[in-house]
C-alpha cells in the first residue's frame, strides 16, 4: 500500500535531551493510524516536525511520496491538541481566514465552509462572535477549519477532547467517513476506546523511540496470549470436569442475570478449539466461544513496560 506519510530515522534533541531517537513509520494511504505514547514520549515534537513547526536534526519526512516542503505541509489538515480561536472575530469570518491560509480562495472557502457548517449543525453560528459560543461549538469550528480544504492527510491531536458523547460520536463518524473517502489520518490520543474504534494501524512511541507499530489486528493477534472466553449455562463442576486436561482454566466469572457464566481458558498444546467445544457441549450449554485478543491499552502498557525494563537493565 502506498504511503501517505513516510517518516525515516527522524531525530531531534533539545540541548542534551533527546526527544526523537530515530523514529521510523509509514501511514498507509486511506488508513487511520493511532499515534500513541505516554506523556513526554515525543508525540508533539514528532507532529511539529512533520508540520515544519520544529526543525528536526536528522531524518526524512515524505508527504504523499514527495520530500517535505512547506507547500506539502500546508496541504495537511492539522488539529493541534492546544487549539483555539480568536475571541473577537466572528465564527464564519475566522473560518474563512484559516481556509485562506490553507491556500483556498474566498468564494471556494465560503462554499466549502457552508457545507461543513451544515454537516456539523453549526450553520446558525456563522455571524456570531467566538466569545459567544460554547466550548463544544468552538471545538467543532476548529475541526471544520482543519478539514475545510479537503486535505489528503489529516493529523488530529486529541480530536475528541472537549466533546460530549453525542458530538464525539458525530466526529468519529466524520473521521471514519473521511477515511473511507481516501483521506489518510494520523490520530494522536490517549483515549484508548477511540483508538479501538477508529484506528486500523497504530504506532507507539516511548522515550522518543517506536516501540510498537503495525496494523491493529495484526498487533492484537501477535499479542494474543492464548486466552479464550467461554460463555455457558450449566454447572461449574460439570464444566471443569469436561474441560479436564484439554485446557487450563483461568477463572470463572459470577453468573449474570440471564444465568450465563463466563470462563477464561487456555488450550493445552495440540488441542483445537473444536475438540474442546465438542466435549463441553455434552456437559453444559455453550453460548459463546471466543478468542480474547488483548486490548490496545494492554498492548500499550506491556510494550512501554518492556522497553523501560530493557532501558533500566541496560543502564545498570
Partner 1 sequence: MKGKLIRTIVLREWRTRVVKRSFLLGTLLTPLLSVGLIAASVLLTQGVDVHNVVLVEDAPGLITRQDAATGQYVPRCPGCFPERENLEYRFVREAPEDSVWKATGHTVLVEYDESVMQNKAGYLVYAKSPGVKAKRNIERDLSRALEHARVLGSTELDWEAYQRLKLDLTLYERESTATGREEGGGDEIRGGIGFMFSAILFVVLAVYGGMIMRSVVEEKSNHVVEVLVATIRPEELLLGKVIGVGAVALTQLMAWAILSTGSFALFQWVFDAGLIGDAGAVSAANEVPADLMTVMAQNKGLAVLLDIQWGVMVAGTVAFFIGGFLLYGSLYAAVGATVQSEQEGQGMVMAIIMPLMFAYIVGSSALGNPTLPIMVWLGWIPLTSPVMMLVRLATGVTWWEALLSWGLLMLTARFILGIAGRMYRLGVLHDGGRSGWKLWVHWIKGDDR
Taking the least distance from each CB to partner 1, the nearer of 19 and 299 is 19
Contact 25, 210 (CB under 8 A): yes
Taking the least distance from each CB to partner 1, the nearer of 146 and 216 is 146
3-state SS assignment for residue 244: coil
Footprint of partner 1 (CB under 8 A): 14-15, 48, 51-55, 70-71, 73-74, 76, 78, 80, 82-89, 97-98, 100-103, 145
Pairing of strands 209-215, 201-206: antiparallel
Contact 201, 187 (CB under 8 A): no
Backbone φ and ψ of 213, nearest 5°: -160, 155
CA distances from 85 to 46, 48, 95, 104, 140 (A): 24, 19, 9, 19, 11
Smallest gap from residue 267 Cβ to partner 1 (A): 51
Taking the least distance from each CB to partner 1, the nearer of 13 and 238 is 13
Angle, helix 106-119 to helix 135-147, in steps of 10 degrees: 130
Contact 179, 185 (CB under 8 A): yes
How far apart are alpha carbons 100 and 88 in whole angstroms?
19
Residue 19's H or E segment, with its range, is: strand 17-28
Smallest gap from residue 83 Cβ to partner 1 (A): 5
Residue 97: partners with Cβ closer than 8 Å, 6 or more residues away? 89
Smallest gap from residue 122 Cβ to partner 1 (A): 18
How far apart are alpha carbons 193 and 37 in whole angstroms?
15
Taking the least distance from each CB to partner 1, the nearer of 116 and 239 is 116
CA distances from 128 to 115, 191, 257, 311 (A): 17, 32, 51, 53
Taking the least distance from each CB to partner 1, the nearer of 153 and 299 is 153
Smallest gap from residue 51 Cβ to partner 1 (A): 4
How far apart are alpha carbons 104 and 99 in whole angstroms?
6
Smallest gap from residue 167 Cβ to partner 1 (A): 20
Smallest gap from residue 183 Cβ to partner 1 (A): 17
Taking the least distance from each CB to partner 1, the nearer of 102 and 220 is 102
Taking the least distance from each CB to partner 1, the nearer of 158 and 196 is 158
Smallest gap from residue 84 Cβ to partner 1 (A): 4
Give the bridge partners for 155, in sequence order. 78, 186
Taking the least distance from each CB to partner 1, the nearer of 89 and 227 is 89
Whose grid coordinates read 483461568? 250
Smallest gap from residue 98 Cβ to partner 1 (A): 7
How far apart are alpha carbons 1 and 164 in whole angstroms?
35
Taking the least distance from each CB to partner 1, the nearer of 49 and 184 is 49
3-state SS assignment for residue 271: coil
Smallest gap from residue 91 Cβ to partner 1 (A): 14
Amino acid at each position: 500500500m502506498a504511503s501517505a506519510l513516510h517518516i525515516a530515522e527522524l531525530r531531534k534533541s533539545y540541548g542534551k535531551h533527546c526527544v526523537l531517537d530515530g523514529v521510523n513509520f509509514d501511514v498507509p494511504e486511506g488508513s487511520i493510524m493511532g499515534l500513541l505514547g505516554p506523556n513526554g514520549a515525543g508525540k508533539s515534537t514528532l507532529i511539529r516536525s512533520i508540520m515544519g513547526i520544529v526543525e528536526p536534526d536528522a531524518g526524512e519526512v515524505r508527504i504523499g511520496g514527495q520530500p517535505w516542503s512547506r507547500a506539502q505541509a500546508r496541504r495537511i489538515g492539522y488539529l493541534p491538541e492546544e487549539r483555539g480561536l480568536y475571541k473577537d472575530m466572528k465564527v464564519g469570518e475566522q473560518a474563512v481566514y484559516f481556509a485562506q491560509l490553507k491556500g483556498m480562495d474566498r468564494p471556494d472557502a465560503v462554499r466549502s465552509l457552508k457545507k461543513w457548517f451544515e454537516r456539523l449543525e453549526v450553520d446558525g453560528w456563522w455571524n456570531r462572535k467566538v466569545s459567544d459560543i460554547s466550548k463544544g461549538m468552538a471545538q467543532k469550528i476548529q475541526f471544520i477549519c482543519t478539514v475545510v480544504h479537503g486535505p489528503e492527510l489529516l493529523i488530529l491531536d486529541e480530536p475528541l477532547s472537549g466533546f460530549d458523547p453525542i458530538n464525539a460520536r458525530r466526529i468519529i463518524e466524520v473521521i471514519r467517513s473521511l477515511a473511507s473517502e481516501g483521506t489518510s489520518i494520523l490520530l494522536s490520543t490517549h483515549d484508548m476506546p477511540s483508538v479501538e474504534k477508529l484506528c486500523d494501524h497504530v504506532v507507539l512511541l516511548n522515550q522518543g523511540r517506536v516501540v510498537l507499530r503495525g496494523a491493529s489486528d495484526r498487533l492484537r493477534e501477535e499479542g494474543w496470549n492464548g486466552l479464550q472466553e467461554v460463555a455457558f449455562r450449566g454447572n461449574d463442576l460439570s464444566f471443569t470436569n469436561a474441560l479436564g486436561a484439554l485446557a487450563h482454566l483461568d477463572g470463572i466469572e459470577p453468573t449474570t442475570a440471564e444465568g450465563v457464566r463466563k470462563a477464561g481458558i487456555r488450550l493445552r498444546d495440540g488441542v483445537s478449539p473444536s475438540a474442546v467445544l465438542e466435549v463441553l457441549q455434552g456437559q453444559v450449554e455453550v453460548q459463546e466461544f471466543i478468542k480474547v485478543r488483548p486490548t490496545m491499552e494492554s498492548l500499550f502498557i506491556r510494550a512501554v513496560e518492556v522497553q523501560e525494563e530493557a532501558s533500566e537493565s541496560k543502564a545498570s
